[in-house]
Structures are given as structure tokens and as C-alpha cells.
């Protein structure tokens, strides 16, 4: 994994403001079920510019999470709190922090918001508490918190994920991808998505997939490196999509409408239910989004998002 430079803590920091970006999965193939209950994956992550914001302030002791989204669990089970507690435990530290979270990434939508918040908390607290943990060490801790968390520590906007998703290989590309993201109110937990996938009747489960599956992660990585948007659009694939559609049938309508407004291809991200269309450029994406906002149900949130090429950096607050 290519580490990105650690922010230098040359003077005591009073507060840090950090952005925590979402991800899309442009490709997700479930290779096998593992004895530990997880699934072996081949996936292609893309970091996008839809971001949560974390403001982290030191306090003498204790951890506190505040959030503008009332439905979010702010207790010890929250991934940010688990990240902070893990760092305290690893370093034998009793230092505390107050973390304010501005939630913009929808919860349980397949966009990795919770994982990104956790990765961002690890980076921020490492700096704030002056722990000087290396990127590889932070990546080990990230993998303990969740399969998608290590991707958000990477200094690369696009990467192949293998294993549980934590074994990462950056993919370079000349492309900035433009998407219209449609978020509907149905939430799907990742655990639930994989459990449903394992049921023998699941369309998309390994048995039913043998004859229909054709795209490959190699082809997708090749398309990205060569800047071939058409090839990339053809290869968009997600084994968990049929499961998400069964749980949330309106995804079929969303995809129909995305095609109608000119997307090159569309897909559910992760275990869903967020669905994105790939567009040739910013202008067509903006036009398509306006049409969908006008014609679609009021409870859909429609956002134009793009590849986030630069690693978000921390700014000092107060
Ligand atoms: O790793 P994380 O805690 O985010 O995963 C949540 C759940 O999703 C796991 O408990 C597991 O049921 C499922 N999962 C899986 N295979 C993966 C990633 C997640 O089965 N590669």
C-alpha cells in the first residue's frame, strides 16, 4: 500500500477539521465464503467528493461524539468511538477527545460513510494525540475496525480491494469519473446484504452466476489505466445488486430513469441501496441530475459526485 504523508504535528493542535469522503464500488465480485464468516472479494473502490466532516478537539480524558444526525448511534458501538478506543488501548493512553460529526453521507447506503469516519478519526487522533503511528500500523488498526476502513487511509482515489476488501492495490487512471448518485430512503446493513447473498435462491449467488458472469476486475483496471470510459461502463458489476433490488425494488426504476437521462452504465454501490449512473462529463451529469430531481419522487436525494483525486487534508481549527 502506498502511504500518504502524515500531517506534521510541530506545535500543539487545539482542534482539527477533517473531511471523510464516501466511496463507490465500480465492481464487486464475491469470490467465495470464508470459514471466518466473511466473504472473499474482488472489488474496485473509488473515492468520491461526497464527504462527512469531523472536528476533533482534545480533552483531558473521556471520549465524546456529537452529531447533527439524530438517528446515528453515538455510543461505544459507533465506528468513530471504536476507532478512538482502539487507539487508546493500543497506546495505553487515557487522553480524550470530543468529536463533532457533520453527517452528509447517508447511513447504511453502501457508500462507506461509517468506515470513512473511522479512518478519518484514526488519522486525526494520531495527529492530535501526537502518537506518531505509521501508515502501515494505522492500516492494521483500520482492518480491525472494518473491511472497508483501510481504503480510506490510502493516498489513491481508485484501488482494487481483495481479501475482505482490506488488501489494496491502487489503480492509476487519467480519468475523473462523473456520476449521478440516487439515494432512496431504504437502508440495508452490509451484514444483511451478505447473509441474503448466501441464501441458495439468491439471484447472483455463485451457483446462479456461473453462466451469466462475464466482466472481470482485470478488465476494469485495464479500462481505468487506459482511460476507456466505454469499457469501464460495460464492466460495472456487483454481485450484491440482485440482493439489494429484492430488498428495495425501486432500484429497478432508478436504474431505468438513469438510463433514460443518458448514463453510460449504472450500478448499486456495495450492499446498497445507493445507486449511481456513470456519465461522460460534468455537464451531462448536471443535466441528468436536474431531470431526475424534477421527475423522480420527492424522497430521492440526487447528487452529482466525482472522483476525489486529492487526499483530503486536515486544517487546524480555532
Ligand atoms: O467488515 P465489516 O465489519 O464492515 O463487515 C460487516 C459485515 O459484512 C460482516 O460482519 C460480514 O457479515 C459482512 N462482510 C462479509 N464479507 C466481507 C465484508 C463484509 O461477509 N468481505
Pair 22, 112: CB distance under 8 Å:
yes
d(CA 38, ligand 1 centre) in Å? 6
In this predicted structure, what is the pLDDT of residue 311? 79
Residues noted as catalytic: 23, 148
Residue 122 in contact with residue 138, Cβ under 8 Å?
yes
Q: What is the DSSP letter of 107?
A: T
Identify the pLDDT of residue 317. Answer: 64
Which residue has the least CA distance to atom 14 on ligand 1? 38
Backbone CA torsion sign across 303, 271, 111, 186: positive
Task: Give which of 140, 96, 101, 136 is closest to 117, Cα–Cα.
Answer: 101
Collapsing DSSP to helix, strand or coil, 292 comes out as helix
Residues with CB under 6 A from ligand 1: 38-39, 41, 146-148, 164-165, 190-191, 194
Q: Work out which ligand 1 atom sits closest to the CA atom of 41.
A: 21
By DSSP bridging, strand 237-238 and strand 16-33 are: parallel
pLDDT at position 220: 97
Residue 40 C-alpha to ligand 1 middle, in angstroms? 10
Cell numbers found for residue 61: 480524558
Residue 30 Cα: closest atom of ligand 1: 21
Question: Which residues of the chain have a pLDDT value below 50?
Answer: 1-10, 210-211
Q: Give the three-class secondary structure for 257.
A: helix
Task: Assign 54 to helix, strand or coil.
Answer: strand
Cα distance between residue 112 and residue 99, in whole Å: 19
Q: What pLDDT, on a 0 to 100 scale, did the predictor assign at position 1?
A: 46
Q: What is the pLDDT of residue 201?
A: 65
The cell for 188 is 440495508
Cα–Cα distance measured from residue 96 to residue 125, given in angstroms and rounded to the nearest whole number:
9
Q: Whose CA is nearest to atom 10 of ligand 1?
A: 191
Ligand 1 pocket test, candidate residues 147, 150, 165, most atoms within 8 A of CB: 147
pTM reported for the whole predicted model: 0.93
Amino acid at each position: 500500500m502506498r502511504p500518504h504523508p502524515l500531517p506534521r504535528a510541530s506545535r500543539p493542535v487545539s482542534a482539527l477539521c477533517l473531511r471523510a469522503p464516501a466511496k463507490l464500488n465500480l465492481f464487486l465480485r464475491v469470490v467465495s465464503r470464508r470459514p471466518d464468516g466473511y466473504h472473499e472479494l474482488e472489488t474496485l473502490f473509488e473515492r468520491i467528493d461526497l464527504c462527512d466532516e469531523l472536528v476533533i478537539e482534545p480533552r483531558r480524558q473521556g471520549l465524546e461524539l456529537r452529531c447533527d444526525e439524530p438517528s446515528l448511534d453515538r455510543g461505544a458501538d459507533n465506528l468513530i468511538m471504536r476507532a478512538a478506543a482502539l487507539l487508546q488501548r493500543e497506546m495505553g493512553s487515557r487522553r480524550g477527545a470530543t468529536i463533532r460529526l457533520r453527517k452528509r453521507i447517508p447511513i447504511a447506503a453502501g457508500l462507506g460513510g461509517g468506515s470513512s469516519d473511522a479512518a478519518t478519526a484514526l488519522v486525526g487522533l494520531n495527529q492530535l494525540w501526537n502518537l506518531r503511528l505509521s501508515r502501515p500500523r494505522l492500516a492494521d488498526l483500520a482492518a480491525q475496525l472494518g473491511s472497508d476502513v483501510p481504503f480510506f487511509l490510502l493516498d489513491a482515489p481508485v484501488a482494487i480491494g481483495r481479501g475482505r476488501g482490506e488488501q489494496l492495490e491502487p489503480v492509476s487512471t487519467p480519468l475523473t469519473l462523473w456520476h449521478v448518485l440516487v439515494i432512496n430512503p431504504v437502508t440495508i446493513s452490509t451484514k444483511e446484504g451478505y447473509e441474503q447473498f448466501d441464501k441458495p435462491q439468491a439471484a447472483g449467488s455463485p451457483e446462479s452466476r456461473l453462466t451469466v458472469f462475464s466482466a472481470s476486475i482485470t478488465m476494469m483496471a485495464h479500462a481505468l489505466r487506459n482511460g476507456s470510459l466505454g469499457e469501464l461502463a460495460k464492466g460495472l458489476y456487483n454481485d450484491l445488486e440482485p440482493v439489494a433490488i429484492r430488498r428495495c425494488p425501486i432500484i429497478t426504476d432508478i436504474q431505468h430513469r438513469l438510463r433514460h437521462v443518458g448514463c453510460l452504465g449504472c450500478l448499486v454501490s456495495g450492499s446498497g441501496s445507493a445507486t449511481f449512473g456513470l456519465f461522460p462529463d460534468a455537464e451531462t451529469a448536471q443535466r441528468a441530475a436536474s431531470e431526475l430531481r424534477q421527475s423522480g419522487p420527492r424522497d430521492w436525494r440526487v447528487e452529482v459526485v466525482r472522483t476525489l483525486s486529492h487526499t483530503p487534508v486536515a486544517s487546524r481549527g480555532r
